[in-house]
Structure 1
């Protein structure tokens, strides 16, 4: 038995059949994204009200956009266990494997208290049927100068949040994969 083992080792050495693993390498990030899934915060409060909320699909991510009338505001976003209605604290149902709590630091009403954005259906804020990552967008209110939305996604995936000027927008992108 020992001679057979020595023969196999000798043949493998001569033929170069030894497989030696190379150094471990990390897979490149999906679509070059390096966003991560930790909380994102930036900017400050703005009196420029929200006028619309819309969604779009891209090759590598799904996008949620908050349109503002005026100067860009700040935001807070992060994964949470659930969403509560601003002011009342009532639970807001959000479908998906994970939920992003998005707060735009701007009201959805003007200085006189008149609504600048009134969703037709607060529980289905934007139709995201057929989206790869988004599962549900639910309104959680606009209270004390900030507006809250629950974004249900397929799973806890990398995301980014940023602002744009001309016109003013807060943008949330959630990757399709890690």
Structure 2
């Protein structure tokens, strides 16, 4: 009789342990999901380098603009030419260097974002298609949450380089907008989030 009672106790303990394990398995993911923080503004960007190998002959830089948005600051490089995507390389670096000379460019902020657009700021005759008002302050970013400074690093051998001083190393995305047929506007867009 004692053996039967002991078997009953062991069997009951095994069932109880199984129920507890099942509850822990069901409730733990639910509580972890509830405590996980949603991405800022729903943005799922990162801070690793982004690039495009697209090649579009005949595009020229015509302007550089910046804008403030609810969740990010935006830099737009305007291009003119055949409506096609162009290549770019955008990455955080320790220092942005002047094209041709290699001279370091001092940028305000806690991080430096190097932007290379595969289009020159001059035409096929060497005439400038875009000249920044100031090499150190290409666009006015006073009052922006992420951008501290946008500097001109030069245009050389078919590429144009800019440096963006950001408040910190924050997530970003880069993409190209191509105008409709007959519209010769092409834009390289860099958005940098206000925070992670």
Any unmatched runs of 5+ in structure 1?
Answer: 1-19
RMSD: 1.4
Kindly name which structure, 1 or 2, has the bigger radius of gyration based on alpha carbons: 2
C-alpha contact (below 8 Å) 1:45/1:106 kept by paired residues: no
* Pairing 1:52-63 to 2, within 5 Å after superposition: 52-63=63-74
**Residue correspondence of structure 1 range 51-130 to structure 2 within 5 A:** 51-70=62-81, 71=83, 72-130=85-143
Output the CA distance in 2 between the equivalents of 1:96 and 1:55: 17
CA shift digits 1:40-77 (9 cap, x unpaired): 00133433000000000000000000000023311100
- Partners of 2:172 and 2:109 lie apart in 1 by 15
How do residues 1-178 of structure 1 correspond to structure 2 at under 5 angstroms? 23-25=31-33, 26-46=36-56, 47-70=58-81, 71=83, 72-166=85-179, 167-178=185-196
Tell me the TM-score normalized by structure 2.
Answer: 0.78
Q: Which structure dedicates a bigger proportion of its chain to helix?
A: 2
Flag as ranges the 4+ runs of structure 1 deviating above 2 A.
20-26, 43-47
Alignment check: 8 A CA contact 1:163 1:171 kept: yes
* Alpha-carbon separation, structure 2, partners of 1:175 and 1:64: 12
Query: What is the alpha-carbon distance in structure 2 between the residues aligned to residue 81 and residue 43 of structure 1?
Result: 23
- Give, in whole Å, the separation in 1 of the partners of 2:169 and 2:121: 28
**CA separation in 2, counterparts of 1:29 and 1:100?**
22
- Unaligned stretches of 5+ residues in structure 2: 1-26, 180-184
SS of corresponding position for 1:53: strand
